[in-house]
Structure 1
Amino acid sequence: MLVLNIVLLLVTIGFLCWLVFTLAVFALPLLVGVTAGLWAYETGTGPVGGFLVGTAAAWAVAIVGQLLFAFARPLWVRVIVAGLFAGPAAVAGYAATLGIARLAIPSETWQMAVAFIGALAVGITALFRMAGVTPPDPRTEMASEA
């Protein structure tokens, strides 16, 4: 029974890590969507209206952010957009990694160390996922063909 518990714990930790890395880019849209949905609910739209407003706001932030990152040519705009998406992802990664580390690591110091490493890894993953959206620059393609 003890071996089964250890195996299930490792499978659960692996699944949660995969989930955090997969959904890291969507931390900012989720934050905006929840905030907008709660605001709409508090102003009297009801639960369905709050859900619809939150969903629309989350989709709008996700689409606008990815389009800005993909088509903006100035580097400073892309850095700002990437930072806006990677910041909440790193915070979410820290919280998720700390929760997972508390399941497996007894020392509080090591829990924090692992949580900081997890935050860094999730933030970098969010940056790379945002960078994967960018189309190739036609000027560099033409230069490599010549």
Structure 2
Amino acid sequence: MIILAILASIAAIGLLCWLLFTLAVFALPAFVGFAAGAWAHGTGAGIPGAILIGVIAAAVTFAFGQLLITFARPMWLKLAVAVIFVAPAAVAGFHATHGIVKHLMPSDAWQITFSVIGAIAVGITAFVRVAGMATAGGPTGRHLARA
């Protein structure tokens, strides 16, 4: 029974890590959505109105970022938008990794070390996914050559 619990724990950690890496790109839109929803609830919109405003704000943030990455011409603008999306993902990766390693090792120095490594890994993954958004649906070189 103990071995089954250990295997289930490893599977759960693996699933949560996969979920973290998959959803890292959506850290900024989620933050904006939660902030807008909290603001809407504070102004008296009620729970359904706050959820609606939060979902709309998150969708608009994601769509605006994707449009900027896809259609902006200057590379510095694309890089700036990518960094704006990657920074919250890296912070989320730091805290998620720290939440796991604080249960596994008593040393604060090693906890921070592994948390920083987790933040870097999640940040790189989010950057690759954001950069992939630019190439997946963006204009090809043939269209840019004509413009």
- Fold-level match, TM-score > 0.5? yes
Match of 1:61 in 2: 61
The structure-2 alpha-carbon separation of the partners of 1:23 and 1:73, relative to structure 1 and needing over 3 Å to count, comes to: same
Moved more, 52-61 or 110-119: 110-119
**Partners of 1:10 and 1:21 in 2: how far apart?**
16
Aligned-pair distance for 1:140?
9.7
SS in 1 for 2:129: helix
Q: Residue 130 of structure 1 corresponds to which residue in structure 2? A: 130
The aligned residue for residue 86 of structure 2 is: 86
Q: How does 1:86-105 map to 2 (within 5 A)?
A: 86-105=86-105
Match for residue 120 of structure 1? 120
- For residues 61-94 of structure 1, the C-alpha deviation after alignment (integer angstroms, 9 at most, x for no partner) is 0111011111111011011100100000000011
* Whole-angstrom CA distance in 1 between matches of 2:22 and 2:109: 27
* Residue identity matched to 2:140: D
Instruction: Read off the aligned partner of 2:39 and give its amino acid letter.
Output: W
Alignment partners' CA distance in 2, 1:90 and 1:40: 27
Aligned length: 142
Counterpart residue number, 1:22: 22
Provide the rounded CA distance (Å) in 1 between the counterparts of 2:99 and 2:26.
19
Q: Is residue 74 of structure 2 the alignment partner of residue 74 of structure 1?
A: yes
Please, which runs of 5 or more residues in structure 1 have no aligned partner?
none
Shift of 1:100: 1.5
- Aligned-partner residue type, residue 80 of structure 1: A
Query: Which of 128-137 and 37-46 deviates more?
Result: 128-137
Runs of 4 or more consecutive aligned structure 1 residues displaced over 6 Å after TM superposition: none
Aligned to 2:38: 38
Q: Report the aligned-residue RMSD.
A: 1.8
Kindly provide the amino acid, as one letter, of the partner of residue 138 in structure 1. Answer: G
Structure 1's 88 and 74: CA in aligned 2 closer, same or farther, altered over 3 A?
same
Tell me how far 1:95 sits from its aligned partner.
0.7
Moved more, 99-108 or 131-140: 131-140
Corresponding residue for 1:47? Answer: 47
Q: Distance in 1 between matches of 2:34 and 2:5?
A: 35
Amino acid at match of 1:120: I
The Cα of 1:111 is off from its aligned counterpart by 1.6
Which stretch of structure 1 is more off in the superposition, 99-108 or 78-87? Answer: 99-108
1:10 matches 2:29: no
State the alpha-carbon separation in 1 of the partners of residues 143 and 36 from structure 2. 41
Q: Which runs of 5+ in 2 are unaligned?
A: none
